[in-house]
Amino acid sequence: MKEIPTALTIAGSDSGAGAGIQADLKTFAALGVYGTSAITAITAQNTVGVTRVQALQPKLVAAQIDAVVSDIGAQALKTGMLANAAIIAIVAKRIRALSLKNLVVDPVMVATSGDLLIEKNAVAALRAALIPLAAVVTPNIPEAEELTGLKLRAAKDIEAAARRIVAMGAGSVVIKGGHRRGPAVDLFFDGKQFRALRAPRLRSRNTHGTGCTFSAAIAAYLARGETLERAIALAKRYITGAIRAGFAVGAGHSPVHHFYRLWKV
């Protein structure tokens, strides 16, 4: 019997199931990877917004990671919503202690609805403790600005931010271009060279969970044995298709269609 690749998501729960843990597990499943999870926070959330957030105790987050890795393992992993500095610190500690590789850090700070998902004092912990462990960091423009302190208005600013994030210790970075005008161009930087990842901009309200899904797809492809650069390119192709096939759910920003390759709505 062929062994299935495994990937772990360490993130928050979205009760509306469009982002967070739920989106990550859907992505893993859609891409042929067995997904496991360590929940960091519970959000009361739908397509319109977030009404309540409850962060879990750091020791419980650590226990979930240990339980999963000791039995099932993780050929790749990703982090999403890490609500506070204490959770970030213990997640980084367990990743180091368990020698986990192929870490994708999605520095989730704000939901699609605009609601804040991380405490302000946690950003410094993200920079110092978690980013140096990452194979790749996947911020959008506002997140890259928060991480670097730079204002990203032009292409040269985005390149400067990418250099600064890699200088924090990350293996590479993809700064997503969804918040820019024009084509959806993401910038990949591995510390040596830049590469633009291009896709047509899709006019859609079905964008809830795009960042979670993109980073989860990178982790899934890494778990399947792809190189980092190819994993990122394949994830870009996957998220573009998932947005294009998105369908209306709820009154706000609907989710992308994680299983668009398998069935049609």
Residues serving a catalytic function are 176, 207, 209-212
Cα dihedral across residues 86, 47, 197, 242: positive or negative: positive
Whether the Cβ atoms of residue 38 and residue 8 lie closer than 8 Å to each other: yes
Render 181-216 in DSSP notation, one character per residue: SSSEEEEEE-SS-EEEEEEPPP--S--BTHHHHHHH
Taking each helix axis from N to C end, the angle separating 155-167 and 141-148, rounded to the nearest 10 degrees, works out to 60
Q: Exposure pattern of 73-105 as b/e (b: 16+ CB <10 Å)?
A: ebbbbbbbbbbbbbbbbbbbebbeebebebbbb
Instruction: Tell how strand 6-14 and strand 34-45 pair up.
Output: parallel
Q: Give the residue among 7, 151, 144 at the shortest CA–CA distance from 74.
A: 7
Reading the block at residue 191, the tokens are: 């510390």
99's torsion region: left (phi>0), alpha (psi -120 to 50) or beta?
left
